[in-house]
Amino acid sequence: MKATPENQRTLLEIAELDRRIQQAERARTQPAQGARINELAAVRKQQLGELTALTGALDDARAELTRLESDVSLAAQRRDRDAERLAAATDPKQAQALENEIDSLGRRISMLEDTELEVMGRVEEAQAAVDAQQALIDQTQAEGAQLTAAAKADMAAATTEGEHLARDRAALAGTVAADLLAEFERRASRGGIGVGLLRRGVCEGCRMVLSGTDINEIRRAAPDEVVSCPECGAILVRTEESGL
């Protein structure tokens, strides 16, 4: 294949643009914050599970406290009624029975109030645990929101950069002979190296040092002859730096 040396050198610029376009595409689809965002999502899921368990314990303690408060209230009401009946009682036996019941109710109320104080402490501890866990969740959400916003900004910037690079590539590709461009893209599309500069006997596409025999063959080729690297198959671009 024949191509002007200028066209061959232009392939190096196109290859560099292709590299930058690939970088921009990775930045658009795989933002640097992605791994941490995913990690925070997993952490938040675990934290929410723990919050559910802590909230359940708080609800249970509150329910128990409510029951105790109700029991204390009922016992106190009964004690007060008995006290009223005792004040009006004229039968000694009835009065004695009411006094015994009032004493029993007093002991029950005292026991219930002691238990109530204990449960109130449990409610306070459970509430503190829920608040602390919610604070952790809020912190995780805040970091996630900050990283997500940064990722969106980076992705938008990468999208814009990719569009600009694509336009630059299209303009540059328009200056290259169609058959040369097609050959370059064919080689690059196979996952290989489309083009490489020959610098002081080294192919910069694959970083391999060419043998003396290969260098001699390339030296004999005409300037407009498209030559290939014998190691990686890339189009070799020759300049005054090639050492020929």
Per-residue pLDDT reduced to its tens digit, 148-197: 999 999 999 999 999 999 999 999 999 999 999 999 999 998 877 899 99
**Digit-coded pLDDT (tens) for 96-141:** 999 999 999 999 999 999 999 999 999 999 999 999 999 999 999 9
Taking the model in full, what pTM does it have? 0.73
Q: Compute the Cα dihedral for 207, 211, 216, 217 and give only its sign.
A: negative
Amino acid 90: pLDDT: 84
- Does the structure show a pLDDT above 80 at 244? no
Which residue did the predictor score with more confidence, 58 or 88?
58
Q: What average pLDDT does this structure show over 231-235?
A: 92
**Angle at Cα 125 formed by Cα 122 and Cα 131, nearest 5°?**
140
Please report which confidence band the pLDDT of residue 28 belongs to, taking 50, 70 and 90 as the band edges. very high
Residues 6+ apart with CB under 8 A from 219: 244
Q: What average pLDDT does this structure show over 14-23?
A: 96
Amino acid 222: pLDDT: 95
Give the start-to-end residue ranges of the domains of the chain: 5-16+177-238, 27-173
**Digit-coded pLDDT (tens) for 43-69:** 999 999 999 999 999 999 999 999 999
Amino acid 88: pLDDT: 87
Q: What CATH number labels 27-173?
A: 1.10.287.1490
The crossing angle, in degrees rounded to 10, of helices 34-88 and 92-173 is 170
Amino acid 192: pLDDT: 75
Note whether 11 and 238 are within 8 A (CB): no
Question: 């608040």: which residue's tokens?
Answer: 131
